Amino acid sequence: MTAARKDRVKRRLIQQAFADNLDTIRGLPPRAVRPRNRNARIWMRRAPLLLLFLTLAGSTYLASNPTSVRDTIGPAKIVMNRPARSAGVPPTSIDPTPVTAAALQLSVRRVIVDAGHGGADPGATSLLNVREKDITLDIAERLEALLKKNGFEVVATRESDRLIPLRERARIANESNGDIFVSIHVNSIIKHTASHGIETYYLGATSDPTLTRLAADENRVSGYSVADLRKLLDRLYADARRGESERLADEVQRQLVGNLRAADPGLENWGVKRAPFVVLVATDMPAILAEIGCMSNDTEVARLHRPDYRQHIAEALFQGIHAYASVADASQKKGI
Amino acid sequence: MPEILHVGIDLGTSRSSISASNGERFVVDSYVGWPVDMVARKVLKRGVLIGHEAVSNRTMLDLHRPLERGLLKEGSEKDVEAVRELLKHLLGLVGVSNGGSVSASNVRAVVGVPAAALRTNKQYLRNSMKGIVDSLLIVSEPFAVAYGLDALLHTLIIDIGAGTTDFCVMRGRYPTEEDQRTLTVAGDSIDAQLLKLIEERYPEANVTVYMVREWKEKFSFVGKASQKVIVTAPVKGVPTQLDITNEMKAACESLLPPVNEMMLDLLARVEPEFQERVRNNIILSGGGGLTRGLPQALEAALNQVGGGKVRYMEDPVFIGSDGGLALAIDAPDGDWEKLSG
């Protein structure tokens, strides 16, 4: 590189470094994500007007053609849980009632199974050198087999000991058009090695500093900050996906705790929680992250080392997914 | 107009260094300790101890290592206070003090942080440095290294510190998340592994992580040992010589698989026409870069993809802070004023 070119490159680098610092001070997200945010903001601003227009147009069409819709569509597909409006009064605003997947008749066909960590990123490692990446991959493979055996389609984000960046995992999930996303991880709480438990996360902001820190740790390689993600959540998060993610998390957590306590009576139920994990925010479908054990507890590590215990975990995860899917299917059959 | 002092600071988990435009350079251990009680205070004759002095007197101190994986620990006021003390100490060493020749209001600082530091981490650091310097520019540590070496294009920097191993591909632009990676497998994880292996082999030896760290810094190697690693540690109170050659090799080599994989992964993402140039321009920095045999081991891994050249920097301790200083000096006044206060 010539001296003049080097000087030009240096000037540009300095400008970019200062611009990046000013963005941080102003609380702006990294430049790489900004265009997407801008588009999202534009659409979020326009969405109420668009919905209002569609609602008005739809009600006008229904009023003028009361039978044509029934003839072509059959039973009503979407029923909103809202009080009946007085006849002849057109809707004037968007109803804030959250829309559930049941209302939209969603069914679960394709499950994205995400084995946490991998390759150069071992995740939590126990003193016995049991690595989180190996445990998660093994359980993911077992879960995949169970799901396939029961008629689900499965897309795995990781099938070997490879490093897959979080963004890539989200891309795989979104491009595969998955119906739900299940990420498998193992906890490690160095300050509480005596206890062990299970917790399941779905996407959402949290005010708990421990969870913020946990999410920041898991999101470290993504380049986004927790503050950036909070902003994304505030603007982009849809009621249907959050509600469905919470329901999926509830089912999975219930099955995990219920099934695994038989093998481990001391297992603690740490509940369903919200945290802004990148894999959850960047995926387009209901998504959860299950912490299926604790690497910081020696007894638990010994259990995780056993194939039969890992099979138990995979079965519990499967039952959680199955329970969630059954409700969605039942809603569809009843035409709710 | 008062004279401006530019400084570059490498705020490290294990060691922190400062390079200043007045020619001063210092490195200190990133430890801060406060006397635990009045007796300790009387013995130590000071309210706060920093660096090696703090480690040496740790039995009398509430000792803090305020940086974790190269980042300021959040949620701990004591650690924030510790990092402020550490920064004030570093600046004091290069002549910055309230009553001294340079006041804090005339200092422009560039601080390097791990490549994958989040914006919240950076803002937290910025808040904690309020009042200590006039203007602060925070950049990724490997970027500071690259800038200092004029390695701005087709270069891969691998910065092996205590808390993190940072990777950054320089493409003539300010590195984005695509260009950088951070591994938490670094010096501290080698220490933990080495301690565990020594304890397994010599269960009766009394060894601490501080001793292990010192041994690693002296004898670390990968590949073939050029000599036996013999250290002295108390066994049942009796100073005893221990051969830890195999343990040292195993602990240091635990770094190789993740570093090799990350290096090859990043290289594979470089535009195909530039891959060979980047492969032949890999720079090792940070304390971990001093590990004997490491460049050769990385080059062996590069043979899988057509070979490459790994350079090792002679002065890895100051390479980050020197890079930060170069950036601080080159940045125009107008840019600095935007970050003032």
> In terms of pLDDT, which residue wins out, B314 or A25?
A25
Confidence check: pLDDT of A64 > 90 = no
Q: What is the pLDDT of residue A101?
A: 42
Confidence of residue A335 (pLDDT cuts 50, 70, 90): very low
CA distance B81 to A142: 48
**Nearest-neighbour CA in chain A from B39: distance (Å):** 30
Confidence of residue B74 (pLDDT cuts 50, 70, 90): low
> In terms of pLDDT, which residue wins out, B223 or B181?
B223
Domain spans of chain A?
1-74, 109-334
Which of chain A's residues have a Cβ under 8 Å away from the Cβ of B180? 223
Q: Which residue of A has its CA nearest to B335?
A: A18
Confidence check: pLDDT of A61 > 60 = no
CA distance A333 to A90: 31
Name the percent of chain A lying above pLDDT 90.
20
Within an 8 Å CB–CB cutoff, is residue B42 touching chain A? no
What ipTM score was computed for the predicted complex, to two decimals? 0.83
Which of chain B's residues have a Cβ under 8 Å away from the Cβ of A29? 119
Query: Is the Cβ pair A24, B185 closer than 8 Å?
Result: no
CB atoms inside a 10 Å sphere around CB A253: 25
**Nearest-neighbour CA in chain A from B258: distance (Å):** 4
Lowest mean pLDDT among A91-105, A264-278, A308-322: A91-105
Tokens representing B201 are 């082999």
Query: Is the Cβ pair B177, A32 closer than 8 Å?
Result: yes
Alpha-carbon distances of A24 from A31, A243, B58, B134, rounded to whole Å: 10, 32, 37, 17
Q: Which of B138, B258, B332 sits opposite A120 (nearest CB)?
A: B258
Q: What is the pLDDT of residue B335?
A: 86
Tell me, yes or no, if the two domains B5-146+318-338 and B153-185+255-316 fold the same way. yes
Confidence of residue A136 (pLDDT cuts 50, 70, 90): very high
Mean pLDDT on B268-272: 89
Strands B5-10 and B107-113: parallel
B153-185+255-316: which CATH architecture?
2-Layer Sandwich (3.30)
Most confident of A210-219, A270-279, B288-297: B288-297
CB atoms inside a 10 Å sphere around CB A8: 13
List the beta strands (DSSP E) in B152-294. 153-160, 165-171, 180-183, 230-235, 238-243, 282-285
Mean pLDDT on A57-79: 39
Q: What is the pLDDT of residue A62?
A: 47
Which of chain B's residues have a Cβ under 8 Å away from the Cβ of A221? 116, 181-182
> In terms of pLDDT, which residue wins out, B78 or B243?
B243
The order of strands in the sheet holding B15-20 is B25-29, B15-20, B5-10, B107-113, B135-140
What amino acid is encoded at B144 in this protein? A
Task: Work out the angle at residue B215's Cα, subtended by the Cα atoms of residues B90 and B235, and round it to the nearest 5 degrees.
Answer: 125
Q: Which of A21, A31, A227 sits opposite B339 (nearest CB)?
A: A21
- Which residues on adjacent β-strands are paired with residue B72? B67
Distance of CA A1 to the CA centre of its chain: 46
Contact B173, B147 (CB under 8 A): no
Tokens representing A319 are 């039952």
CATH H superfamily, domain B187-253: ATPase, nucleotide binding domain (3.30.420.40)
Which of chain A's residues have a Cβ under 8 Å away from the Cβ of B174? 12-13, 16-17, 20
Q: What is the pLDDT of residue A76?
A: 29
What does the pLDDT look like over A214-240, one tens digit per residue? 665 565 545 444 455 554 555 444 445
CA distance A303 to A293: 9
Give DSSP secondary structure letters for A156-210.
ES-SSS----HHHHHHHHHHTT-SEEEEEEEE--GGGTT--EEEEEES-----HH
Give DSSP secondary structure letters for B51-68.
THHHHHTGGGEEEE--EE
> In terms of pLDDT, which residue wins out, A28 or A71?
A28
Task: Work out the angle at residue A102's Cα, subtended by the Cα atoms of residues A98 and A105, and round it to the nearest 5 degrees.
Answer: 120
Mean pLDDT on B32-48: 91
CATH H superfamily, domain A109-334: Zn-dependent exopeptidases (3.40.630.40)
Q: What is the pLDDT of residue B242?
A: 96
φ and ψ of A266, to 5 deg: -85, 0
Query: Is the Cβ pair B116, A120 closer than 8 Å?
Result: no
Q: What is the pLDDT of residue A111?
A: 94
Of all residues in chain B, what percent are helix, strand and coil, respectively (each to 5)?
45, 25, 30
Structural fold of domain B5-146+318-338: Nucleotidyltransferase; domain 5 (3.30.420)
Contact B183, A120 (CB under 8 A): yes
Q: What is the pLDDT of residue A65?
A: 47
Q: What is the pLDDT of residue B177?
A: 74
The order of strands in the sheet holding A197-202 is A153-156, A110-115, A180-187, A287-294, A197-202, A268-274
- Which residues on adjacent β-strands are paired with residue A318? none
What does the pLDDT look like over B128-177, one tens digit per residue? 888 888 899 999 888 999 999 999 999 999 999 888 888 999 998 888 87
Q: What is the pLDDT of residue A214?
A: 62
Confidence of residue B17 (pLDDT cuts 50, 70, 90): very high
> Residue B10: CA atoms inside 13 Å, Cβ hemisphere, count?
36
What amino acid is encoded at B272 in this protein? P
> In terms of pLDDT, which residue wins out, B148 or A326?
B148
Reported residue count of chain A is: 336
Confidence of residue A70 (pLDDT cuts 50, 70, 90): very low
Question: CB within 8 A of A282, min separation 6: which ones?
Answer: A166, A167, A170, A174
**Nearest-neighbour CA in chain B from A236: distance (Å):** 20
Query: Is the Cβ pair A226, B118 closer than 8 Å?
Result: yes
CA distance B103 to B95: 9
Averaged pLDDT of chain A: 72
Query: Is the Cβ pair A6, B138 closer than 8 Å?
Result: no
CA distance A17 to B147: 12
Confidence check: pLDDT of A157 > 90 = yes
Most confident of B78-82, B178-182, B209-213: B209-213
Within an 8 Å CB–CB cutoff, is residue B172 touching chain A? yes
Q: What is the pLDDT of residue A99?
A: 43
**Nearest-neighbour CA in chain A from B183: distance (Å):** 7
Which of chain A's residues have a Cβ under 8 Å away from the Cβ of B335? 14-15, 18
List the beta strands (DSSP E) in B141-250. 153-160, 165-171, 180-183, 230-235, 238-243
Q: What is the pLDDT of residue B184?
A: 78
Q: Which of B120, B153, B261 sits opposite A163 (nearest CB)?
A: B261
What does the pLDDT look like over B206-227, one tens digit per residue? 999 989 999 999 999 999 999 9
Mean pLDDT on A298-318: 89
Pairs of residues, one from chain A and one from chain B, whose beta carbons lie less than 8 Å apart? 110
Which of chain B's residues have a Cβ under 8 Å away from the Cβ of A18? 137, 331, 335, 338-339
Averaged pLDDT of chain B: 88
Nearest to residue B143, comparing CAs of B332, B326, B335, B307?
Answer: B326
Q: What is the pLDDT of residue B248?
A: 96
Q: Which residue of B has its CA nearest to A25?
A: B123
Domain spans of chain B?
5-146+318-338, 153-185+255-316, 187-253
Give start and end residues of each alpha helix (H) in A237-290.
Answer: 239-263, 278-281
Which of chain B's residues have a Cβ under 8 Å away from the Cβ of A222? 177
Q: What is the pLDDT of residue A36?
A: 44
What amino acid is encoded at A125 in this protein? T
Q: What is the pLDDT of residue A213?
A: 61
Within an 8 Å CB–CB cutoff, is residue B341 touching chain A? no
Which residue out of B118, B179, B262 would a mutagenesis test of the A interface target, given it has the greatest number of A Cβ atoms within 10 Å?
B118
Alpha-carbon distances of B52 from A319, B274, B315, rounded to whole Å: 56, 44, 20
> In terms of pLDDT, which residue wins out, A41 or B268?
B268
Query: Is the Cβ pair B262, A13 closer than 8 Å?
Result: no
Q: Which residue of B has its CA nearest to A23?
A: B119
Which of chain A's residues have a Cβ under 8 Å away from the Cβ of B119? 24, 29-30, 225, 227-228
Name the percent of chain B lying above pLDDT 90.
52
Q: What is the pLDDT of residue A329?
A: 59
Confidence check: pLDDT of A1 > 80 = no
Lowest mean pLDDT among A45-54, A274-283, A324-333: A45-54
Which residue out of B133, B158, B174, B327 would a mutagenesis test of the A interface target, given it has the greatest number of A Cβ atoms within 10 Å?
B174
Query: Is the Cβ pair B338, A22 closer than 8 Å?
Result: yes
Confidence of residue B331 (pLDDT cuts 50, 70, 90): very high
Tokens representing B70 are 């190269």
Which of chain B's residues have a Cβ under 8 Å away from the Cβ of A13? 147, 152, 172-174
End-to-end CA distance of chain A: 68
